[in-house]
Amino acid sequence: MLTLYYSPGSCALATHIALIDAGAPYTAVRVNFAEGEQRTPAYLAVNPKGRVPALKTEHGILTETPTLLAYIAQRFPAAQLAPIGDPFAFAQVQEFNNYLGSTAHVAHAHLRRGTRWVDADNTAALEAMTKYVPTSVTQIFELIDSKMLKGPWVLGDTYSICDPYLYTLSTWLEGDGVDLARIPRVRAHRERMAARTNVQQAQAEQSATAAA
């Protein structure tokens, strides 16, 4: 049994969706960020970074969304969530997901997490980062829209672990000040994903625990 640690509204939704896609046995444990649970000794023992997602396996705990998605695809190959038998094609999956993690997510984080990069007293730098988010995130997603999204799904006609990750980050775009009219293919992908039963199930499970 796998255990996913998540917070509603976070990038952990991508892993949650992938677990359902894979037919994996799992339990989902909410980490209450509003109450600072991510900084408690109990959770830091799970993930010393104090972030989500974290995935407890029988071999140990894994963190970082691209890693968790790759693990799920390889752990449950029958689900065919990535071309794990083709080294180049699988590297392309990793290339896309790492771009989301290292670039798209980081640009988004400048909106409210600027103190990861500058001191909290540096208000000018924090304001500059916040002000630039609509521009930087728009540029990133325009590149995804025009060059990286190959078809109805990220890889083309085949659904993969790239799709729940792109979907999750795309749900933040309005909050980042991005005009969705500028990225019509990403917007269509988000609508396509939102219609999937597994996506709805993951969101319902997270909403239920948040309300509990």
Identify the band that residue 209 occupies on the pLDDT scale cut at 50, 70 and 90: low
Whether the CB-CB separation of 24 and 55 falls below 8 Å is answered with no
Element containing residue 57 per DSSP (H, E): strand 54-57
- Mean pLDDT along residues 15-37: 96
Quick one: average pLDDT of 100-113?
92
Alpha carbon distance 162, 65 (integer Å)? 11
Domains for the chain: give ranges and CATH numbers: 2-80+199-211 (3.40.30.10), 87-196 (1.20.1050.10)
pLDDT of amino acid 39: 93
pLDDT confidence of residue 212: 53
Quick: pLDDT tens for 150-206: 999 999 999 999 999 999 999 999 999 999 999 999 999 999 999 999 999 999 999
55-62 long-range contacts, Cβ below 8 Å, gap at least 24?
A: 55/2, 55/3, 55/4, 55/5, 55/15, 56/2, 56/3, 56/5, 57/2
**Chain-centre distance for alpha carbon 29:** 17
9 is written with which tokens? 């509204």
Tokens describing residue 211: 């309300």
Percentage of the chain modeled with pLDDT above 70: 98
Beta-carbon contacts of 18 under 8 Å, excluding residues fewer than 6 positions away, are 68, 69, 72, 73, 81, 161, 164
Q: Residue 121 carries which side chain, given as an amino acid letter?
A: D
- Which residues are within 8 A (CB) of 9 and not within 5 positions of it... i.e. 6 or more apart? none
Buried b (16+ CB within 10 A) or exposed e, 75-94: ebeebebbbeeeeeebebbb
How far is CA 54 from its chain centroid? 12
Q: Which of 19, 26, 25 shows the shortest CA–CA distance to 79?
A: 19
Q: What angle do CA 137, 189, 105 make, to 5 degrees?
A: 30
Residue 44: what residue type? L
- Please give the pLDDT value at position 119: 84
